[in-house]
A and B are shown apart, each in its own frame.
Chain A
Amino acid sequence: MQPSAEFVHWLFATGFLVLGLCLLSEAIVGPEVWNQRPWRAYLWPGTAFLMGIGMWPVMILFTNSTLHMVAHSAWAQVLMLAGGAELALVRGRLSSRYWHLTIALALVVSGTASLVHEQNPWYFSRSAFIHHAMGWILITGALFPLARTFRPRSFVLSAGFAVTFLVVSVLLYSHRDVADIFGHLSPAAGAPHR
């Protein structure tokens, strides 16, 4: 009954899609309009927090290696930290703008974990390629929330932050357990299916 890894990647892709669409809308209308309705202000931080909670079963069930467990638990912790900090900022429990830096931290830790826990080279399989690409996109994408902390009204920074999540979503949706990437698939990866 336990789902294979590709299903989990697709479910998290959906979470990143929700995050991306919400953040893109917020970038377009501006934070004042977006935060006019309280439930909307809680929407994306709440989604991030729930995704952090959802990473814990992944950490417990997918125990391919110690590195996988460490990476998944690191993701869970930083997602919950960033989501929780943003929820507290919306609620007014936290007031310093520097708490927005937890998002940049979450992206850097997530990207590093993605790179570290992928032991195979880029063209080993599609899964390997996606983990390498996702890692570098997350680390590079951390620049957007980092700069956005100091320039919260910048459309370019807000839109770039949203697009980072949308790109990650596309990568995760294209994940397969064993499939080729641009015609490359190592024989050691196993037989591709569908």
Chain B
Amino acid sequence: MVWVVRAEPALPLEQPRVRRSARTRVVAAIGPVTVLAAVVWTLFQPYRLTLLHPEGQSFWWLAVEPPLLIVVVGLLFSALVAPGLIEDLEDAD
């Protein structure tokens, strides 16, 4: 019996890296930077996040928490706006 060993991989191990333009990188960074800003704010003023100490808080203190609102905006931007915008930008470039 003869065993044949093929040395080359069936698929290239690394996809060729697509270079992104500076504009694409900036658009991709907007959402994460927004979330990061909220996280940094929370580190400096943890009392602004009533979720960390919810006992005895009224409805509005639990429903409207500025750092959380900013996180939500950043995540929604990253999930809904940025992907399509980057796609259209790369097509245009």
Range for the number of chain A residues in contact with chain B = 20 to 34
Q: Is the CB of B23 within 8 A of A14?
A: no
Q: Is the CB of A7 within 8 A of B60?
A: yes
User: How far apart are the CA atoms of A84 and B63 in the complex, in Å?
Assistant: 29
* Smallest CB separation, B48 vs chain A (Å): 9
Q: Is the CB of A21 within 8 A of B89?
A: no
Q: Is the CB of B47 within 8 A of A21?
A: no
By a CB distance below 8 angstroms, the chain A residues around B92 are 29, 32-33
* Smallest CB separation, B80 vs chain A (Å): 9
Q: Is the CB of B88 within 8 A of A14?
A: no
Other-chain contact of B73, A10, A21, A29 (Cβ < 8 Å): A21
The yes or no answer to A91 lying at the interface (CB within 8 A) is no
Q: Is the CB of B70 within 8 A of A25?
A: no
B residues in contact (CB < 8 Å) with A: 23, 26-27, 30, 34, 47, 59-60, 64, 66, 69-70, 73, 77, 81-82, 84-85, 88-89, 92
